[in-house]
Amino acid sequence: MPSKAFTMGLNSIMKAEKIVILVYGENKKEALDALLSGEVTEDNPASVLNNHKDVTIIADTAAIGE
């Protein structure tokens, strides 16, 4: 398992002990909202992170929508 990566497969990501996601920009708001909805769907591959035990999301106000 790589210690750092810009892109990885979901299987490798889910094996990580801790996941930190940086989200910035208004164009990511919809994807972040879908992730935070809690529903795991094929339409939003990142939604599988709802099944991980330790995920930290850091987002700017544009991505949050405030």
Question: What backbone phi and psi angles, to 5 degrees, belong to 17?
Answer: -70, -35
pLDDT for 18 equals 94
DSSP annotation of 37 reads: T
Confidence of residue 34 (pLDDT cuts 50, 70, 90): confident
CA 52 to chain CA centroid, nearest Å: 10
What confidence category does residue 62 fall into, taking pLDDT thresholds of 50, 70 and 90?
very high
- Helix, strand, or coil (residue 3): coil
Identify whether the C-beta of residue 58 lies closer than 8 Å to the C-beta of residue 52: no
pTM for the model: 0.76
CA dihedral (12, 18, 24, 28) positive or negative:
positive
Return the pLDDT at 61. Answer: 95
Question: Identity (one letter) of the amino acid at 36?
Answer: L
Tell me what pLDDT residue 20 has.
92
Question: For residue 50, is pLDDT > 70?
Answer: yes
